[in-house]
Amino acid sequence: MSWVHSNPILCLCLVILILAGIPVLLYFPTHRNLEHLPLLKPVDGFSLLDIKSKTAFVFRSKELLAKGRALFPQSPYRMITDLGEIVFLPVGLADEIRNDPRLSFGSAFGEGAAVHTYNDSVLQTIVRKELTKSIVINPMSVEATHSLSINLEWREIELKSVIVDVVARLSARVFLGKDLCRNEDWLRATKEYTINFFVAGTHLRMIPRPLRPLLHWFVPKCRELRASFNESRRIIMPAIHRRRVARAAALTAGEKIPEFDDAIDWADREAAARGVGYDPAIMQLMLAVAAIHTTTDLVTQFIIDLALNPEFVAPIRQEIVHVLRTTGMKKSALHDMKLLDSALKESQRHKPPGLASMRRRAEKPLTLSNGLALKVGDRIAIDTYRMNDPELHKEPEKWDPYRFLRISEQPEKSKFAQLVVTSPDHLAFGHGEHACPGRFFAAYEIKIILCHLLLKYEWELVPGSNIAPMVLGLTYAASPVARIKIHRRRELELDIDSL
């Protein structure tokens, strides 16, 4: 029984089940509402607790989704994934489900993705209400100068690890303010937490759901995740305590209460207004995870795409120089960089951050327009293949930075050409009410980083470097091991640091 040696966690699960006197069958899915839909299993035959099917999906998801599209091009079908059984809907239903209140975005991720919990309503509100309107471009530009200068000392670098650090520093400047944003211990802990958050979630999903509250204590990546969390709490809680003490003292003395225009302050005010409690350390970590993960992925992929297509560096750089000379480093300037925006959206189209989007869980029964009846607990998603569909995009395999610029010139499609605008044809940020609320902030942050990179540096891929995206379940991430050679430019068209 070789599987005994290759699946130690599964063995431990079975031992616990037997000792507890619980029939294994209790842990097979009992919900039979959707049995009439075709089921695509990653592994043929019997798979105890679906472990083999889940593992196969983690490593073969792109191939399996392509098979699903070929077999059921316009019909819903079920697939066993590492997240459990999911119904993949045709993209034509995207607008129908986008804002349906009976479908939950938050609970669709409730199968052990995180060890810690947090008040999602407070997080969503501060991102939607405070984050974008509070962005001050110049401090972020200063932080970009600092973070790039300390990261790009060497000619050859592992690209993604450097971009993770740059994005973490810029995000911390907005979330924590200037006093905490350069705390090296905090930055290290948040970067480690972000990486372990996704890996630990994948490991947990291999374990039957009822056993996760117990077995997560023994999963190595979960232990590392808790260590990063505890370190983050150790760093940030004294600073939060000092702020609260200062506020209380000012209130007692009848003096003006000090205000800090950052995410710590926003979360405190929002939680007080709602009358709810929240963990500020977890809140900051969830903000960091959301900001670092997707932003790093797009910046990394864009740098790779430009290295593969160096003929487009000059026109994008020229646009940046022209706009910054005319407007300065402002939000409006970043908005006016139309070619850069188009090129970023093209990188996102060419390599989306996920193989599926619009993941939802039914919280109330509902019937879709195609007659599909969903009951409470059913999970759905939509494949993101449409972004590379030759019926929609000419030569979809080609990276064309002008693609969305041309689309913006078509009156009926112009509003969908911007990076931050979602549609059923472009699901990289999701779509509808639950589309990524931080995408506006991310767009500003990404453009600031790239303005500095393109004006100050030249780069090329290291020969033989692995630039293939990493597929892990529904995650489709820019290569974590791609390497580039980078050096400072000697002649600069514009001194961006003086703006």
Per-range mean pLDDT, top range of 16-25, 110-119, 135-144, 330-339: 330-339
pLDDT at 147: 93
For 100, the domain range is 31-498
Query: What domain count does the chain have?
Result: 2
Binding residues for heme: 436
pLDDT category, 20, cuts 50, 70, 90? very low
pLDDT at 119: 57
User: Has residue 1 got a pLDDT over 60?
Assistant: no
Question: Both 194 and 181 in a single domain?
Answer: yes
User: Tens digits of per-residue pLDDT, 218-257?
Assistant: 999 999 999 989 998 898 889 888 888 988 899 899 998 8
pLDDT category, 151, cuts 50, 70, 90? confident
Question: Both 21 and 144 in a single domain?
Answer: no
CA distance 116 to 95: 32
User: Has residue 22 got a pLDDT over 50?
Assistant: no
Q: Label the pairing between strands 103-104 and 84-89.
A: unpaired
Question: What is the rounded average pLDDT of the residues 203-228?
Answer: 89
DSSP sequence for 444-469? HHHHHHHHHHHHHEEEEEPTT---PP
Question: Both 19 and 136 in a single domain?
Answer: no
User: Tens digits of per-residue pLDDT, 249-284?
Assistant: 998 999 988 888 788 888 888 888 888 888 888 888
Question: Both 301 and 341 in a single domain?
Answer: yes
Question: Both 119 and 80 in a single domain?
Answer: yes
Question: Both 3 and 85 in a single domain?
Answer: no
Question: Both 374 and 445 in a single domain?
Answer: yes
Binding residues: 436
Question: Both 269 and 389 in a single domain?
Answer: yes
With a pLDDT cut of 90, the percent of the chain lying above it is: 61
pLDDT at 263: 86
pLDDT at 117: 47
pLDDT category, 9, cuts 50, 70, 90? low
With a pLDDT cut of 70, the percent of the chain lying above it is: 90
pLDDT category, 26, cuts 50, 70, 90? very low
User: Tens digits of per-residue pLDDT, 343-387?
Assistant: 999 999 999 999 999 999 999 999 999 999 999 999 999 999 999
- Mean pLDDT of the residues in the chain: 88
User: Has residue 90 got a pLDDT over 90?
Assistant: yes
Q: What is the CATH number of the domain that holds 208?
A: 1.10.630.10
User: Tens digits of per-residue pLDDT, 33-58?
Assistant: 788 999 998 988 776 778 889 999 99
Question: Both 50 and 199 in a single domain?
Answer: yes
Question: Both 24 and 162 in a single domain?
Answer: no
User: Tens digits of per-residue pLDDT, 405-462?
Assistant: 999 999 999 989 999 999 999 999 999 988 998 999 999 999 999 999 999 999 999 9
Question: Both 156 and 13 in a single domain?
Answer: no
User: Has residue 116 got a pLDDT over 70?
Assistant: no
Residue of 1 and 321 predicted with greater confidence: 321
pLDDT at 207: 86
- Name, in order, each residue with C-beta under 8 angstroms of 498's C-beta and a sequence gap of 6 or more: none
3-state secondary structure of 361: strand
pLDDT at 27: 41
Using CB atoms within 10 A of its CB, is residue 232 exposed (0-12), middle (13-18) or buried (19+)? buried
Question: Both 364 and 285 in a single domain?
Answer: yes
CA distance 321 to 323: 6
Name the nearest CA neighbour of 80 among 110, 43, 45. 43
In this structure, the number of other CB atoms found within 10 A of the CB of residue 453 comes to 22
